[in-house]
Structure 1
Amino acid sequence: MNSTINKEQLVRFINRETSLSEDHQIFRWIAESEGNREELRQLYETDRLSRQKNLSAQINVEDSWSEFSAKRLNVSRKTSKPLLNYWTRIAASVLILVSVSVGSIEGYRLFTDSNNTKTLVQLHVPSGEKSIMILADGTKVWLNSESSITYNPLEPRSVNLTGEAYFEVSEDKSHPFIVHTELGLNVRVLGTEFNLRCYPDEAIVETTLDKGRIELFGKNIERPVEILPGQQAVLSENSLNIKNVNAQLFSVWRNNELKIQDSSFGELVPLIERWYGVSIHLDARLRDQGQFTMTIKTESIRELFMMMQLTSNFQYEINGSEIRLKAK
């Protein structure tokens, strides 16, 4: 193992206990070699198996590493039996999944396109969870809840996004990185950092640039448009609007923060559903009411509703993951 990354750091990384600077250090370590990626994949597998057997939720460093080492030694002695099957090898060569919640790793799958000519890799993050992934070119992608990213392993710098993601794109002037959406706006970049939001139920595409430059193009845009750091482009009903914003506010979800700005009940409910992984039935009388501005961090959903009741007159009923919001 690289001396700059020890096994305790990787275990803390899997358990979501590392800082953002440590995450970046580990990302660089992952990108250094296939051997590093294999070590992390094996440790993830050890953790996953231990959780399935209802063992401790925290990885026991020494036991897990011993198990990993034994597995690795055993595999090296049985070269006639590959560690990963063919399909998994395709994905593993271009993707290392870094899950910030155990459940999200189950959304990883491989399939062929409608013409049965291409093998595609897809990661889907369910409601209430988030994930981080790193592509073969070093590009890092944070995926928000209810989001999917799909791509051809042979073309890893061209991806399709549904939902919301933050991209740190590895620079390659000869090969632009392109993000496609189903809502008529695509993003072309060389090396940059930006947030892209394109949930189908919102009927808009919103991209916010932190660093570098990006070019927007697509069937619903007359001609390519370039935006600069601190700008946000919103495509709605075939109309593209660009404005200056505090770009960092639109990617704080990566740090487990949800910022709400002047939102009605109707606008807020889908955000709450994704954030907490719940289903909310909203009284139609409340849909256009409310003007909520807040930041959600570690608050329970009950605490959230109690805060909302300080400025709005409504009742709530919580039954497991089913919630009803009613007008008084």
Structure 2
Amino acid sequence: MKKDNRLKRLSPRQKQMLDDDLMHLLDKYMEGNLSAEERRAVEQRVDEAHQQLNDNTLSDKEVEKSVKRLLRNVAGRMNIEIFLHRKSTSLSWIQYGGIAAAIALIVVISLPLLKNNEANQAASPELIEQTAIVQQFITDSNMKKITLADGSVVHLNMGTTLSLHKGKFNGQIREVWLEEGEAFFEVTKDTHRPFIVHTADGLSTRVLGTSFNIKAYRELGEQVVSVKTGQVQVSRESGGKVVLEANNKVSFDNGTGSLTSGLTDGSAAADWRTGNIVMDEAGLKEIALRLKQYYNVEIINDAHITTDQKVFFAFTTNTELKDVARALADIYKTQYRISNNKLILIK
């Protein structure tokens, strides 16, 4: 059996051609949110389709071609692949008086099969290949600015990894994975293609066109999304979401899975791009991370400062280490000394 080319997702033009109500039901079906009433509505659509059996305005060949195209579209919506014979058997048993009727039948009949197919392929080589990383941007002790295919700009802080997965960033979909670190996103507006950033522990940030910062260093045990402009929706895979406007933030606790929102300075949160390091409600872990990044020193907490004590701390990267150390000691009301790439805080 020969295989057709890899499926493509629906283009905006194709979406406009499909029945809006039906596509809405399709989306809800894939999310598992189809109510009994909505399910009955879909079944009614199928009944209406059957009533048109004797009113065939398309030839068998035309119907077959349309059915195949629509079946591919449905599969594309579900981000899976199906394959059809190039010389397929006749589909003359599906004879309808219009494309809308064919869509209704395909959606109802094919979705359960496609969803089962998706589950059965969970560990298949084809699915693994489809979700494979095709491009990755990594920074170590440097920063990087990249421009994605849609024109969106991403600034990567030090110690950051950003990945693009196969089939997940193209003309129909925009998804990236911030595997580790921190990035500031300036997203090109596209109302047909939300821009989604996936981070650890099932957190995702969804926007249409805006600018925002995500801090997701694993060693900090939390992720913080801060919005500079526009609107951002942050959601957990396990459920629960929060919508943020400009100068708002949300913190996600990697351990408990809790979301905590609050006010912030969206511009200041991303000022690391220009050498201004601003830490709002920062614990000693975050401060230690920043000093390691910019001064290559390790903080030794001989003053027994509680790590969950939150403070505001800021410095510019051209400030000498001794001046940063003095300011930090003043905040915590401790003494300090610097020795062998160690900043030791003492009582």
TM-score, normalised relative to structure 1: 0.57
What pairs with 1:79-94 in structure 2 (closer than 5 Å)? none
The match for 1:307 is: 327
Counting only pairs closer than 5 Å after superposition, residues 226-241 of structure 1 correspond to structure 2 as 226-236=243-253, 237-241=256-260
| Separation (CA, whole Å) in 2 of partners of 1:262 and 1:189 | 25
Partner residue, 2:262: 243
- Residue number among 278, 287, 295 corresponding to 2:305 in the alignment: 287
Shift of 1:256: 0.9
> Are residue 206 (structure 1) and residue 227 (structure 2) matched?
no
AA of the residue aligned to 2:138: H
Aligned residue identity for 1:205 = Q
What is the CA-CA distance between 1:242 and the residue it aligns to? 1.8
Distance (whole Å) between structure 1 residues aligned to residue 242 and residue 279 of structure 2: 28
Structure 1 regions of 5+ residues with no counterpart? 1-112
Q: Is the 8 A contact 1:221 1:240 kept in 2?
A: no
| Aligned residues of 1:146 and 1:163 also touching (Cα < 8 A) | yes
Please give the alpha-carbon distance, in whole angstroms, between the structure 1 residues aligned to 2:287 and 2:194.
Answer: 35
Pair 309,204 (structure 1): closer, same or farther in 2 beyond 3 Å: closer
* 1:274-323 Cα distance to aligned partner (Å, 9 max, x none): 233x241513443328876443111122331233344533332343xx32
Name the counterpart of 1:175: 193
Q: Secondary structure at the match of 2:162?
A: strand
Whole-angstrom CA distance in 2 between matches of 1:238 and 1:126: 28
Q: CA deviation at 1:243?
A: 1.8
Aligned-residue CA RMSD (Å): 2.8
The amino acid that maps onto 1:258 is I
Q: Secondary structure at the match of 2:200?
A: coil
Whether the 8 Å CA contact 1:266–1:287 is kept in 2: the answer is no
Identity, in percent, stands at 21
Offset of 1:257 from its aligned partner? 0.5
Residue 327, structure 1, aligned to residue 346, structure 2: yes
Q: Does structure 2 conserve the Cα–Cα contact (< 8 Å) formed by 1:231 and 1:243?
A: yes
* In 2, Cα distance between equivalents of 1:181 and 1:195: 12
Contact 1:145 1:275 in 2 (8 A): no
Which residue of structure 1 aligns with residue 7 of structure 2?
A: none
Whether the 8 Å contact between 1:209 and 1:231 is mirrored in structure 2 is yes
Paired residue secondary structure (1:305) = helix
Q: Secondary structure at the match of 1:145?
A: coil
TM-score (norm 2): 0.54
> How far 1:324 moved relative to its partner?
4.3
Match in the other structure for 1:221: 239
2:164 equivalent in structure 1: 151
Shift of 1:245: 2.4
Residue of 191, 198, 205 corresponding to 1:187:
205
Distance (whole Å) between structure 1 residues aligned to residue 205 and residue 330 of structure 2: 41
Is the partner of 1:286 in helix, strand or coil? coil
Distance (Å, rounded) in 2 between the aligned partners of 1:182 and 1:150: 13
Q: Which residue of 2 aligns with 1:25?
A: none
Number of residue equivalences:
212
Q: Contact between 1:193 and 1:212, CA under 8 Å: does it hold in 2?
A: yes
